[in-house]
Amino acid sequence: MTRNPHSQTNNDHGRACILNKLQLCHRGVLFILLIMATACTTLGPEYKEPEVTWLNDWQPDFYGLSNNTQQATQDLRFWWLLFDDPVLNELITMARRDNPSLRIAGLRILESRAALGMANSTSLPQLQQLGASVTGISTNNHGGISDGSSENLAAYQSAFRIGWELDFWGRFRRGIESADAIFLSSITAHQDLQVLLTAQAADLYFSYRTIQHRIKIAHLNSTRQQRSFAITEKLFAAGQGSELDLQQAKTQYLATRSTIPDLEGKLIQVRNALAALLGRPPGLIPELAGEGGDLPDIGTLIINEVPTRLLLRRPDIRSAAWRVAAQSAQIGLAKADYYPAISLLGSLGWSGNSVSASADTGQLIAGPSLSWNVFDQGRIRNNVRLQDARLQQSIEAFQNTVLLAAREIDDAAVIVVKTAEQQIILEETLIAAERSLELANIRYREGYADFQRVLDAQRSLLSQADRQLAIQGIHLSAIIQMYKALGGGWAEISEESIVPEETQQQMRNRTDWGNLLEAQLPAPNSRQRPE
């Protein structure tokens, strides 16, 4: 049997092509293996919490308020119980439940948790695509032996494609680290808002009670001055008093009355601010019904000594630290753009048509892929610089947050001490003013002093009584700010507390949230860095 030389040549050529393809494939595999051996690294700096150098030598100066007992964290978290006021306790509970800003902070936790889930999905094949198509073809022939004939056929195909970019440079790991840090930052931001909200509720409540008492004092003094005015009016009508005494008494009486509308306006403004804090429209707050009792006397407040490192556990400082961690990971993510993206690609396809003589075709394609943006180095390089500048900004923001926290502690402590000293002095001053008014009235009735002395004593008594109340309110506000500065008033966040049940139900009706609404939240202070 004679062999066809052309067939032999074609076979040789085919074998040569196959060998060339195998060699190319072998080289590609070796190249990929070489890169894998040398490149399995995570680019960018490893997160390290910024060091506050001055904190090692700094100890809060409580100006005589501190003792040497061990600080109990539980006391700080429920510091408002110190005032022993059931109304205050109820208002704080309602504020932490119904405040709109706190609910938004809870929803941001869910948002960042979903973003973290998106980042985690990059560890799986990024391309998972199923496609199919059907095409109809109609042909009409004109001219020739097939003139006027037509033919209809259908072509169909389907394919499943998968692509998996290998994380040689830590691009996806850094993305997960960044998303994880943002998630933890959202939790500490929620806790920081608890601290702020609790302090605001207590501050507004005692401001309301203080203004109530100031209005009461103004009414009492107005009544007293009205009687004096009536007396001078009768004396003047009887020709036994001067018009000067009459007009001075009238002026003082009206001046005191004029302060009442201003105080009443401030009272309504404070009430409206408290209503907004409770998630209510402006209007009456039933919990504030009545005048309330006397303002609490906390003049002998003792603050337990706080280690400086406890300062770094404040929620706002922890939140700032996690923002640094998130931005630190962004540098590694940007640096990964310097290097090629290496992927494993695969495709499983099937195609055919309606022609009976034509066979269906199955196709399996698999292999590595390399993509390298080699001509965009300027953009990549400047993006790395941009992310590094943002990192330094976040570090400076962290340092500033710690500095402001230390200042808040010192400012609040000195106000607590100095207002306590003022209260002691004002109590003695008020006693002296009351006695002065008593003596002035006696001497006036006996004819040893003119009515101006009585008016002066009344004015002094009103001023001292109002000032004492104002200082007492400032003292209470300073105590509140002290506990706020120490980071008191936050608690571990439960899944139920971040989003109310009715809101959860609305979200479930719109979207499949899986178990994200019920999943347990991590403790952000329990980890030094994202893992």
Per-residue model confidence (pLDDT) at position 148: 58
| pLDDT, averaged in runs of 10, over the chain (531 residues) | 45 47 48 49 88 84 61 66 92 92 92 91 81 76 60 80 84 92 94 94 95 92 88 85 86 91 95 95 89 75 66 90 95 92 85 71 82 86 95 96 92 90 92 92 84 87 90 92 88 74 87 82 60 38
Residue 309, classified by CB atoms within 10 Å of its CB into exposed (0-12), middle (13-18) or buried (19+), is: exposed
Listing DSSP states for 291-349 in one string gives --SPPP--TT--EEP--HHHHTTSHHHHHHHHHHHHHHHHHHHHHGGGS-EEEEEEEEE
Q: What Cα–Cα distance (Å) separates residue 261 from each residue in 218, 258, 417?
A: 10, 6, 32
Question: Quick count: other Cβ atoms within 10 Å of Cβ 59?
Answer: 11
Contact 326, 185 (CB under 8 A): yes
Q: CA nearest 324: which of 397, 249, 236, 406?
A: 397
Per-residue model confidence (pLDDT) at position 24: 46
| Complete edge-to-edge strand list for the sheet that includes strand 341-353 | 127-140, 150-165, 341-353, 361-371
Question: Quick count: other Cβ atoms within 10 Å of Cβ 443?
Answer: 15
Q: What Cα–Cα distance (Å) separates residue 425 from each residue in 106, 207, 474?
A: 46, 22, 15
> Would residue 16 count as lying in a domain?
no
Token digits of residue 86: 């059931």
Per-residue model confidence (pLDDT) at position 211: 94
Q: CA nearest 109: which of 506, 511, 505, 497?
A: 497
> Would residue 327 count as lying in a domain?
yes
Residue 351, classified by CB atoms within 10 Å of its CB into exposed (0-12), middle (13-18) or buried (19+), is: middle
> Would residue 154 count as lying in a domain?
no
> Would residue 74 count as lying in a domain?
yes
Contact 295, 473 (CB under 8 A): yes
> Would residue 55 count as lying in a domain?
yes
> Would residue 35 count as lying in a domain?
no
> Would residue 2 count as lying in a domain?
no
Query: How far is Cα of residue 33 from the mean position of the Cα atoms in its chain?
Result: 46
Return the H-helix or E-strand segment holding 439: helix 377-446
- Could you give the number of structural domains in the chain? 1
Kindly report the CATH number assigned to the domain that includes residue 498.
1.20.1600.10
Interatomic CA distance for residues 449 and 439, integer angstroms: 10
Phi first, then psi: give them for residue 117, nearest 5 degrees. Answer: -60, -40
> Would residue 365 count as lying in a domain?
no
- For the whole model, what pTM was predicted? 0.81
Interatomic CA distance for residues 320 and 323, integer angstroms: 5
Residue 281, classified by CB atoms within 10 Å of its CB into exposed (0-12), middle (13-18) or buried (19+), is: exposed
Residue 205 structural domain: 42-125+169-339+376-526
Q: Is the dihedral of CA 24, 29, 32, 38 positive or negative?
A: negative
Interatomic CA distance for residues 203 and 485, integer angstroms: 14
